[in-house]
A = this chain, B = another copy of it.
Amino acid sequence: MADDARTLANGGKHIDFQTDPSRYRHWKLAVDGEVATLTMDVDENGGLFEGYQLKLNSYDLGVDIELADAVQRLRFEYPEVKVVVMRSGKNRVFCAGANIRMLAGSSHAHKVNFCKFTNETRNGIEDSSENSGQKYLCVVNGTAAGGGYELALATDHIIMADDGAAAVALPEVPLLAVLPGTGGLTRVVDKRKVRRDHADYFCTIEEGIKGRRAVQWRLVDEIAPNSRLDARIAERVKALAATSRRNGEGKGIVLTPLHRSIGDHRVHYEFVDVEINRAGRIATITIRAPEAPPPADIDALLAQGAAFWPLQVARELDDAILHLRLNELEIAMLVFKSHGDGALVAAYDDLLEAHKAHWLVNEIRHNWKRVLKRIDVTSRTLVTLVEPGSCFVGTLAELVLAADRSYMLIGSRDGDNRAPPAIVLSAMNFGPYPMSHGLTRLEARHQADPSQVEQARAKIGEPLDAEAAEELGLVTFALDDIDWDDEVRVFIEERTSFSPDSLTGMEANLRFVGPETMESKIFARLTAWQNWIFQRPNAVGENGALRRYGTGERAQFDMTRV
């Protein structure tokens, strides 16, 4: 169920994360040479759920799914694009932020998942700027309030109209009794480095800040009168393009639709299969190895396009994770399995490493990084089972390292003539896929003794059986055939009986050992506090500010400070 408080519009049965520009209702994507323009022009009758209108360029998850799609396509389909101009298609309003009626009527789980996805989309914009050289310029032509300003904050440069009306604002605290929780509080002080007392003032006024003070306080980068706005945008586009390291060679590839079938108990893609056991509250995600060796060279890879195995499997896996997060709320655990010829997986990893300087290979690597990060912040228990026939090699071995717990079979099973399972590490386990807090999963694992990362590196390419993998600290438990069934069964039964909330909190803490970055702070300090507030009567109770908003009645607060 997508949201037990809401009904999907148009009789939809689940939230679908797949779209393409021909289907967009809220965004327009236009490309002109090295400049793309992303225009937000929300169709107020195009809400994902019934029961609210998306006025004033306010958004719901459906709007953000289109944005995420556009940001992704720009990276893969437009190697020539160096600057993306984000602007509004409405007069005098940039974006009013997340739709309040949508939020007020959503289940707690949907609120949390909605914010998580929109955070990932904004992080994706920053990732595109940093790692694809697609620089984002935001044109604030009117009010950019709440989530609207948070969207602007994710870009590299904000130009605001200096017309006495355009303003940036984070009015959540005074207006709604919640936080600017989609990165806003963190980005204001950590990214834009607004002084904390100025930020305190800014975040407690409804009307926002316009004109020169917005520049002086670092809330926007520059202001321009309407008469000079277009000229200023053109100058800035040129300057940003000059800083881009996007080399713009060659043609893009098209992100063709995934082949997916959604059944009652199964979501099936070409290389990813999801079996949903609702009674047991488990989803088993099996990833299949490629069946053919990788293309011989970059031209052949370009010819494969979206069918190139590492790209296709990442897109399928990403869609599967999002589907489970938003549509299968009672699934407690994701069990990862794999199947196929590990040597072929290794060959693809070799190609990803050998050609990492090529723009498309770079995109594919960063895309895998983002998919794995999405898994890291998915609030379901992550378990990986390494069994005969599996192919946890390199990139796929990250799923062993990402798991809260992993089990690996020692030897073979009685009557199974396949070889014992092996894990194989590749260069991909040692850098290209950092977690959101900046460490690789192997580094996070071996905080006690970083030399263990080096010991693992020395084994790149070697098949590691269960005992060797346990010795290197790659798996939690190596079990023989006699113990496997009982141990795994008891673990799964126990785990799925625990309070989901305590598991969410526990996993979110244990997964992120060591440092924090701006990105990880958004998912930790900021999101955890927002989720607390999203549970408090002062925000979501009958008389709370979210519920009372727009009714003309004032919210009533319990004034206890906690």
Contact = CB atoms under 8 A, between A and B. Distances in A.
Interface in A112-141: 112-113
A502 B513 CA distance: 28
A502 B538 contact: yes
A501 B531 CA distance: 11
A172 B532 contact: no
Given A332-B559, A536-B501, A509 B448 contact: no
Interface stretch (A290-298, A388-396, A401-409): A401-409
B559 A281 contact: yes
Interface in A403-449: 403-406, 444-448
B499 A108 contact: no
Contact of A494 (B203, B204, B379): B204
Contact of A201 (B112, B174, B188, B476): B476
Contacts of A330: 559-561
Interface string A182-211: 000110111001111111110110000000
B189 A447 contact: yes
Interface in A303-348: 329-332
A203 B506 contact: yes
Most buried by B among A193, A521, A530, A539: A521
Most buried by B among A190, A200, A330, A444: A200
A31 B561 CA distance: 40
Interface string A531-557: 111011011000001000000000101
A237 B505 CA distance: 37
Interface residues of A, number: 91
Nearest to A199: B510
Given A379-B562, A380-B561, A561-B331, A179 B506 contact: yes
Given A173-B506, A502-B178, A557-B499, A562 B108 contact: yes
Nearest to A332: B561
Q: How many identical subunits does the complex contain?
A: 2
Contact of A524 (B174, B195, B200, B525): B525
Contacts of A557: 498-500
B204 A562 contact: no
Contacts of A112: 562
A405 to B, nearest CB: 5
Interface in A135-179: 172-174, 176-179
Contact of A538 (B447, B494, B501, B529): B501
A529 B218 CA distance: 31
A109 B560 contact: yes
A403 B196 CA distance: 9
Nearest to A184: B509
Contacts of A495: 204
A207 to B, nearest CB: 12
A101 interface: no
A131 B194 CA distance: 33
A515 interface: yes
A529 B505 contact: yes
Given A178-B502, A504-B529, 4 more contacts: A107-B560, A173-B506, A174-B494, A499-B557
